[in-house]
Structure 1
């Protein structure tokens, strides 16, 4: 599943939030998007999963313009985990995950045996299959996030859009969830807050500054001290960790 955007622009209250964003993500790549708060990351992701419409530009999913696709057809191919995923009522875990099957069913269609098997398998992938009959509200933050990932997986989509998937989680659950996502072998485009997490898991990274793509490349190509100073306003040392072979950022 490939994603390509051309010159996406979004203006809010006459202010440019996203300015000519063009990205090209190949099948099964894990691509990150990083930048300071308010730089346009979440707004850009919302245009991709069709939460908002861009003022200009085009988005192609497997070279098909998503404007020519129905919302339902888009959801069959692309699943999103927004930064905020409010659940208004206290559903059971299985009911939350079953919501991911909605794009594949008509409004009045009941859950099939296949739907149930997909839900169970999705929960197994995130290690939550033993909680299927529990109250979603009674889960911990990390458990809720894994259930929401399972809901996205239940869509059977080949492309995941994730907006701060590890937000508000302690480091154990951050690594656990990122390991799960990486192991799925899907195409992933994720906004990430922690630059060391981005360096560890991403194949490529887009660095955003003030609504513009500042640079793009492999983690070691873009997460350089001069870039961190220019974009994030911090002094840092960047080195290759001897055990992992991944870059490690130390803030000074």
Structure 2
């Protein structure tokens, strides 16, 4: 499913958080949004999963404007993992993961064999199967992140929207998560702060600064020393990864710059 952000703007209390953002996320590709804190990345994602109504512009799924689609349709098509998507009650891990099936069920309909199998496979894929009967409030931050991603996957979405999914994850699970995204076949829009992870995981990148899209394209075309200096205020050398050829940034720690 193709996702399009068409001249999207969000203004709150007279302040423009997102300014005429146009971005294309082709079917089956992983597109990353990167930029400094406060550049509008999370705000743009909220418009995609209908937590926020844009001031102007629109979001389209396969050419259909999002506001014109039934809520149940978008709940099935778009799964979101947000920064504030924690669980306040001490449900078990398997109960939280099973919530991902809610858009497909009616009322208090119980999970069938297929749903239970989906949940079990998602938990195993995210390395949380052994935590199935643990209360989610007893987990570490990284374990909770993986539970929330499993919940999103069992929703069987066409589009996956992820806001900082690698937060709290150790190196092994960061690599595993990004490998999962690349091999999922889903249309993915993901916010990442780590530019090296973004370069490795994403087919394309969109760079935001002060709410505006200032660059977009393949990571090798976007992540230049000049752009990193202009947007992030950091000096960096860009070198190819010795195994994959993906651009990797080596940062200068010179405090006198």
Q: Same fold by TM-score, threshold 0.5 exceeded? A: yes
Aligned pairs, number = 252
Aligned to 2:193: 193
Choose 215-224 or 165-174, whichever is displaced more.
165-174
Structure 2: unaligned runs, 5 residues or longer: 253-257
- The 3-state SS of whatever aligns with 2:107 is coil
Choose 178-187 or 46-55, whichever is displaced more.
178-187
CA distance in 2, matches of 1:202, 1:68: 29
Residues 126 and 180 in structure 1, CA contact (< 8 A), matched pair in contact too:
no
TM-fit CA distance, 1:136 = 1.4
CA RMSD of aligned residues (A): 1.3
TM-fit CA distance, 1:199 = 0.7
Aligned to 2:171: 171
Residues 6 and 58 in structure 1, CA contact (< 8 A), matched pair in contact too:
yes
TM-score by length of 1: 0.96
Aligned to 2:153: 153
Aligned to 1:45: 45
Residues 208 and 214 in structure 2, CA contact (< 8 A), matched pair in contact too:
yes
TM-score by length of 2: 0.94
Structure 1: unaligned runs, 5 residues or longer: none
- The 3-state SS of whatever aligns with 1:22 is strand
Choose 154-163 or 125-134, whichever is displaced more.
125-134
- The 3-state SS of whatever aligns with 1:23 is strand
CA distance in 2, matches of 1:239, 1:64: 40
Residues 32 and 189 in structure 2, CA contact (< 8 A), matched pair in contact too:
yes
CA distance in 1, matches of 2:65, 2:213: 22
Choose 115-124 or 158-167, whichever is displaced more.
115-124
CA distance in 2, matches of 1:233, 1:105: 48
